[in-house]
Structure 1
Amino acid sequence: MHTDDNNETSSLEKVELAIISELTLHRYQIPLSPTLPVATQRIDQRSGLVISAQLNHAQLNHAQCESVEISPLSGVDTNNKPLVGFSEESLEQVIALLQQQLPLLINKPLTELANIASEIKLPSAAFGLSLLATKFSSAFQYAHVDDRKISLFYYQPNTTNEALAAKINALPKRTYAIKVKVAQASIEQEIQFIHQILSINPKLKLRLDANQGFSAEQAIEFLACLPKASIEYIEEPCQTLKESRMVYQALKIPFALDETLNDADYQFTMFDGLAALIIKPMIIGNIDKLAKLIETATEHGVRCIFSSSLEANLGINDLATLAAQLTPDEIPGLDTLANFSEPLMLENNQLNPQVTQLINRYTNE
């Protein structure tokens, strides 16, 4: 005689066996104010997609629905010039791919979603579909998310010292580090800006992000004027890894890799001075690829820190949860929502009709 435990199908198995009964594809566009920096460029709006999936299974007793954001960091800046150095695929390419793939998933088990995600070549779509499959798991839904964040700062010529002090003093008491974008204004202005920050709160540690904006000489000149003990690391100081390593050799200030990871052929290699990988899942690809990269880097003592690709609130919230699962000892850098004029996802867990429009709905009805 079998026990109830033997007869019962686990909740995980129920979800994996559940059938995809409906998929919807929405497009969104949200104005940004003030503009957001993308390396040395600026954007004044963010566009992307939302996929929602509904599962049906007799043993679930009810339909389950989850949504994900897919927003490649591409398009044009405020000067109508193409964004350089981030997602290679356009939003239109992702839409075309999803319109081809999503109908094939109707009436298929959830596991097929992960299978397709592993085969797709466009990183943002691969990440989004693998995340959608993951979001139905109880491990994701009940993950403990740390509410701490690494706040983002960058030099703005019209910001007064009083306004800067107010922002710094408003940081949560547990804040120990902030992220500062550099290589965007003159070296003198940014040195002064960082000294202003440290004069307000000398205990703050700085994660500097140059987005490959310095030459080796400029990076050395810049960093030599800052208190070394206050710098955790500098992300991508120079355009080439050779130059970034030269900066480390000169000053022994650790560096992190960010844009270097955007290369589809990137393979982890350990270097002296490499302190962290800044991981943008929307640009790197599916979750299995992320997990393997994190495992390899961690084995070499390199920190892995999740960072946003300027997603809207649906994507940011999911990144926080994924970071809690894959990098539980690190606080992700996800402080990019303040510039969004509207939320993508409302508090009732519904899409904001003011910024979204339906592209397609696929169903088994």
Structure 2
Amino acid sequence: MTTTQQQATPFTLTHISLHQFTIDLDKPLPVGKQRIEKRSGLVLSATASNNMLQRQACVEISPLSGLDNQGQTLIGFSRETLAEVAEQLTALLPQLHQQPSDNLLALAEQTPYPSLAFGLSQLHGKLAGKFNGHSITPRTVPLIYRQSGEPLTAVADRVSSLPSSVYAVKVKVAQDSLEDEIKLIHQILAIRPNLKLRLDANRGFSLEQAIEFAACLPLDSIEYIEEPCHNPDDNQDFYHAIAMPWALDETLNDPTYQFELQPGLRALIIKPTLLGSIEKLQHLIETAEEHGVRCILSSSLEASLGIEAISRLAQMMTPDEIPGVDTLGAFSQDLVVSSGKEHSLSLEELTPLISLS
């Protein structure tokens, strides 16, 4: 039997398991204007076999929802909760057991939960060998943000320590007063004048605030600002007033979103966990790039297993763009896949929810 025939022979899901994890963070991570100090999610594992081959794979499914470090519900990201995804998976897995692995794609299209759709389609891709042969080139755009109560000098120290090879950074804005944030931007550029900045406002400004903020910045140093206005309909007026390119992020989370070219739209910041299946991701990228809009894959604060997958997808789908995955530094441990931390949690160390053999 040839390799082509082996690959054409349907794979059957002979073993499936689901585990849950929680990892403490060494420092809070920003979720819009909120902060989280731990990250929870699921790991879905499967073995698929045909007459000649057996393949194993696991994926992270971590909706960006739950509570922040003040006990408040996270707003503006995943609509589904971890409990809802776990409940649906627990019901679906017996239907998948001993069935063709292609059924994963069918269920990915049927589920209303984007994080689950992404996980199921990703698992199918891994079991089909579609992720093989795509090495990951270490590349990242450092994330710069100010911790609560942190002096600007501490942020300056982090900027000063950036490797000389770094040519762009992402900066969280619309978090503090306009005065402090304008100072922060100028301080970063005073230390590293050649840096290009990708600003992320998370819809934190009114139109008037966004214009006032942008008017005080050197436009030549700004690649774009993500979601500058509370009301996304104001983004075009913002661009007409100040000529600063802008990008979409949260807007893409709306299940009814359809790409539309707009004045000033420079990039789509795509979080696969919030968007849905890999097929939906591929379609959005192709449509945007046809209109000259950049597509940058970004994390939803996944652990190392999820970050590895997004990095690999970025290498495959957007090879000319550096993905936004500079969030692992805050994690106290890795998950299944090592990023170099002292400890990486194995499946055996996670909480088992279901196992079918």
- TM-score normalised to the size of structure 1? 0.92
Q: CA RMSD in A?
A: 1.9
Deviations 1:117-137 (A, max 9, x none): 122111110100000111124
Deviations 1:329-365 (A, max 9, x none): 11100001111111122549974369621111011xx
Q: Name the SS of the counterpart of 2:205 in structure 1.
A: coil
Letter paired with 2:242: L
Q: Which ranges in structure 2 are unaligned for 5 or more consecutive residues?
A: none
Residue in structure 1 matched with residue 150 of structure 2 by the alignment: 158
Residue in structure 1 matched with residue 21 of structure 2 by the alignment: 28
Conservation of the 8 A alpha-carbon contact between 1:146 and 1:331? no
Conservation of the 8 A alpha-carbon contact between 2:19 and 2:347? no
Conservation of the 8 A alpha-carbon contact between 1:155 and 1:190? no
Question: Is residue 1 of structure 2 the alignment partner of residue 10 of structure 1?
Answer: no
Q: Which ranges in structure 1 are unaligned for 5 or more consecutive residues?
A: 1-6
Q: Name the SS of the counterpart of 2:301 in structure 1.
A: coil
Question: Is residue 52 of structure 2 the alignment partner of residue 59 of structure 1?
Answer: yes
Q: How does 1:224-263 map to 2 (within 5 A)?
A: 224-263=215-254
Q: CA deviation at 1:243?
A: 1.5
Question: Is residue 290 of structure 2 the alignment partner of residue 299 of structure 1?
Answer: yes
Counterparts of 1:133 and 1:166, CA distance in 2: 44
Counterparts of 2:32 and 2:296, CA distance in 1: 18
User: In structure 2, do the counterparts of structure 1 residues 127 and 353 end up closer, same or farther at CA, with 3 Å as the change threshold?
Assistant: closer
Q: CA deviation at 1:159?
A: 4.4
Aligned pairs, number: 353
Q: CA deviation at 1:96?
A: 0.8
Letter paired with 1:143: H
Q: Name the SS of the counterpart of 1:92 in structure 2.
A: helix
Conservation of the 8 A alpha-carbon contact between 2:47 and 2:56? yes
Question: Is residue 10 of structure 2 the alignment partner of residue 50 of structure 1?
Answer: no
Q: CA deviation at 1:141?
A: 1.8
User: In structure 2, do the counterparts of structure 1 residues 200 and 355 end up closer, same or farther at CA, with 3 Å as the change threshold?
Assistant: farther
Question: Is residue 76 of structure 2 the alignment partner of residue 85 of structure 1?
Answer: yes
Deviations 1:289-348 (A, max 9, x none): 111111111111000000110000000010000111111111100001111111122549
Counterparts of 1:190 and 1:352, CA distance in 2: 41
Conservation of the 8 A alpha-carbon contact between 2:206 and 2:229? yes
User: In structure 2, do the counterparts of structure 1 residues 292 and 58 end up closer, same or farther at CA, with 3 Å as the change threshold?
Assistant: same
Residue in structure 1 matched with residue 352 of structure 2 by the alignment: 358
User: In structure 2, do the counterparts of structure 1 residues 150 and 350 end up closer, same or farther at CA, with 3 Å as the change threshold?
Assistant: closer
Counterparts of 1:347 and 1:280, CA distance in 2: 22
Letter paired with 1:193: L
Conservation of the 8 A alpha-carbon contact between 2:26 and 2:330? yes
Counterparts of 1:11 and 1:69, CA distance in 2: 30
Q: Name the SS of the counterpart of 1:247 in structure 2.
A: helix
Write out the 4+ residue segments of structure 1 that deviate beyond 6 Å after TM superposition. none
Deviations 1:86-107 (A, max 9, x none): 1000111101110111111111
Deviations 1:10-30 (A, max 9, x none): 27725x612111011000101
Comparing 79-88 with 152-161, which one deviates more in the overlay? 152-161
Counterparts of 2:6 and 2:204, CA distance in 1: 46
Counterparts of 1:105 and 1:314, CA distance in 2: 23
- TM-score normalised to the size of structure 2? 0.94
Residue in structure 2 matched with residue 129 of structure 1 by the alignment: 120
Residue in structure 1 matched with residue 212 of structure 2 by the alignment: 221
Counterparts of 2:316 and 2:347, CA distance in 1: 31
Counterparts of 1:359 and 1:101, CA distance in 2: 13
Counterparts of 2:117 and 2:316, CA distance in 1: 19
Conservation of the 8 A alpha-carbon contact between 1:155 and 1:193? no
Q: Name the SS of the counterpart of 2:211 in structure 1.
A: helix
Residue in structure 1 matched with residue 258 of structure 2 by the alignment: 267
Q: Name the SS of the counterpart of 2:255 in structure 1.
A: coil
Q: CA deviation at 1:39?
A: 0.4
User: In structure 2, do the counterparts of structure 1 residues 355 and 236 end up closer, same or farther at CA, with 3 Å as the change threshold?
Assistant: farther
Counterparts of 1:19 and 1:170, CA distance in 2: 50
Counterparts of 1:264 and 1:45, CA distance in 2: 27
User: In structure 2, do the counterparts of structure 1 residues 347 and 37 end up closer, same or farther at CA, with 3 Å as the change threshold?
Assistant: closer
